[in-house]
């Protein structure tokens, strides 16, 4: 990654440097051209005004040449050099594009490479106005080496190289820091995933991160917490089921052992066999319940127009003996006739589970243990409310109680310890309610009681 970034930065810097240098050179040469044209024009004028005093004119050409740091030739219209500030071309005949153009009355310039050196050469016509016409009487040819431009360019190039190298180092440093900042949370997350795969369910990635990565880490932590609680509940479920199965199994074993030894009356055999039958029934019920919960997702509803009030009353009647056995008073506070399409048996299952819990999780410390039942009819909805004054549910568990295998079994709530259950009832309830496209919610306060509310659109 760093190599790719470096290549991008180097290419960009090279491109920008090339543009800057090119621009600089063009501007400098243009300026040189203007300067030399001015000198050429001045020389042409000086020559014209001092044609009679050729010695003075030569002196002036030499001094202009020195000032402009250029070679200046004055050539007559036969292309013969009549003045040269370096003297060596005096009397020679010269011919080049610039001279040809200026003899036709035009100024011209060109950049040439002579022996690895760049030379700017330009020409200016010397004209004479005779009154009738303008005549070209000669040419001023100025040439100057572009060495100073090139050495300035070389300096600029070196400076740009230094700045670019510095810039590259700083950018790579910043990129490395930024990349590290970006990859650090990902590395921490990868470590977390490895921990989970190694079986450390519940592992939490520490630290606060912003943006999408922060959300991802929050979701990961939530997932890990959930997995851990599912695993805990799974273990509890297996523990409970094993315990539940062990008791009848031990009874059956003991009963059979007792029958195998000794001579017993047929009546004793019958009595023991009856006990064995009852214990097997208990086991069968348990297994059926587990099977039903495993097939939870597959349930299909048999919908018919039903009176919710009647179903609720029937269910309350059915569970009343169990409530009385547990000293819980079931009180129907409000009852209406609400006719809607629903699966009667499934709704009974829902109500039984909720009522069973409100009795089961009653608070022994309360003088009166009670469960109030309401069926309220409004314009577009019916509401079933089951409100108990039992143990209540800790706030942090409220979001999970409809999860499969979830039980409030935290050691800080010892009152729950001896209450049997598998953490399946409410997940069955939720599933059935969802299938009806109704909704269920719970309000609860530890020590005060719980309120289950089912909303039925009508």
Residues that bind ligand ADP (CB under 6 A): 353, 357-358, 361, 388, 390-393, 401, 406-408, 416, 421-427, 450
Burial of 87 (0-12, 13-18, 19+ CB in 10 A): exposed
Q: Which residue's CB is nearer to ligand ADP, number 426 or number 454?
A: 426
Cβ of residue 254: shortest distance to ligand ADP, in angstroms?
Answer: 28
Q: Which residue's CB is nearer to ligand ADP, number 70 or number 350?
A: 350
Q: Which residue's CB is nearer to ligand ADP, number 346 or number 407?
A: 407
Output the CA angle 101-106-110, nearest 5 degrees: 60
Cβ of residue 452: shortest distance to ligand ADP, in angstroms?
Answer: 7
Q: Which residue's CB is nearer to ligand ADP, number 260 or number 418?
A: 418
Q: In the beta sheet, which residues pair with residue 386?
A: 373, 452
Cβ of residue 406: shortest distance to ligand ADP, in angstroms?
Answer: 6
Cβ of residue 277: shortest distance to ligand ADP, in angstroms?
Answer: 26
Q: Which residue's CB is nearer to ligand ADP, number 125 or number 425?
A: 425
Cβ of residue 398: shortest distance to ligand ADP, in angstroms?
Answer: 9
Cβ of residue 201: shortest distance to ligand ADP, in angstroms?
Answer: 20
Residue nearest to ligand ADP (CB): 421
How many angstroms separate the CA atoms of 133 and 155, rounded?
Answer: 50
Cβ of residue 429: shortest distance to ligand ADP, in angstroms?
Answer: 7
Q: Which residue's CB is nearer to ligand ADP, number 248 or number 425?
A: 425
Q: Which residue's CB is nearer to ligand ADP, number 13 or number 373?
A: 373
Q: Which residue's CB is nearer to ligand ADP, number 340 or number 424?
A: 424
Cβ of residue 329: shortest distance to ligand ADP, in angstroms?
Answer: 15
């Amino acid at each position: 990654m760093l190599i790719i970034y470096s290549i991008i930065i180097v290419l960009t810097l090279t491109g920008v440097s090339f543009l800057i240098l090119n621009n600089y050179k063009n501007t400098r040469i243009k300026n040189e051209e203007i300067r030399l044209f001015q000198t050429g024009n001045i020389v042409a004028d000086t020559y014209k005004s001092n044609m009679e005093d050729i010695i003075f004119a030569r002196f002036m050409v030499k001094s202009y040449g020195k000032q402009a740091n250029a070679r200046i030739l004055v050539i007559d219209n036969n292309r013969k050099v009549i003045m040269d500030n370096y003297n060596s071309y005096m009397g020679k005949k010269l011919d080049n594009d610039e001279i040809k153009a200026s003899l036709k009355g035009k100024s011209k310039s060109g950049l040439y490479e002579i022996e690895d050196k760049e030379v700017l050469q330009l020409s200016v016509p010397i004209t004479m106005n005779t009154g009738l016409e303008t005549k070209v009487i000669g040419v001023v040819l100025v040439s100057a080496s572009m060495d100073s431009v090139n050495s300035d360019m070389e300096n600029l190039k070196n400076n740009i190289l230094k700045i670019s190298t510095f810039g590259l180092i700083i950018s790579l440093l910043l990129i490395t820091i930024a990349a590290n900042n970006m990859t650090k949370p990902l590395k921490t997350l990868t470590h977390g995933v490895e921990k989970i795969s190694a079986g450390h369910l519940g592992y939490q990635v520490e630290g606060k991160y912003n943006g999408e990565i922060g959300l991802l880490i929050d979701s990961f932590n939530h997932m890990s917490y959930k997995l851990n609680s599912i695993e805990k509940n799974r273990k509890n479920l297996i523990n409970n089921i094993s315990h539940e199965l062990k008791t009848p199994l031990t009874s059956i074993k003991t009963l059979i052992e007792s029958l195998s030894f000794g001579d017993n009356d047929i009546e004793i055999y019958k009595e023991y066999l009856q006990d064995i039958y009852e214990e097997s029934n208990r086991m069968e019920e348990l297994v059926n319940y587990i099977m039903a919960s495993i097939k939870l997702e597959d349930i299909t509803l048999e919908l018919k127009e039903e009176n919710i009030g009647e179903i609720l009353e029937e269910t309350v009647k059915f569970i009343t003996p169990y409530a009385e056995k547990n000293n819980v008073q079931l009180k129907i506070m409000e009852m209406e006739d609400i006719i809607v399409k629903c699966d009667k048996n499934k709704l009974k299952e829902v109500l039984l589970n909720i009522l069973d819990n409100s009795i089961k999780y009653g608070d022994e410390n309360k003088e009166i243990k009670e469960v109030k039942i309401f069926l309220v009819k409004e314009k577009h909805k019916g509401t079933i409310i089951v409100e108990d004054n039992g143990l209540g549910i800790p706030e942090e568990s409220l979001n999970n109680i409809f999860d499969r295998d979830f039980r409030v079994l935290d050691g800080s709530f010892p009152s729950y310890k001896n209450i049997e259950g598998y953490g399946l009832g409410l997940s069955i309830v939720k599933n059935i309610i969802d299938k009806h496209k109704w909704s269920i919610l719970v309000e609860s306060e530890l020590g005060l009681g719980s309120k289950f509310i089912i909303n039925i659109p009508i």
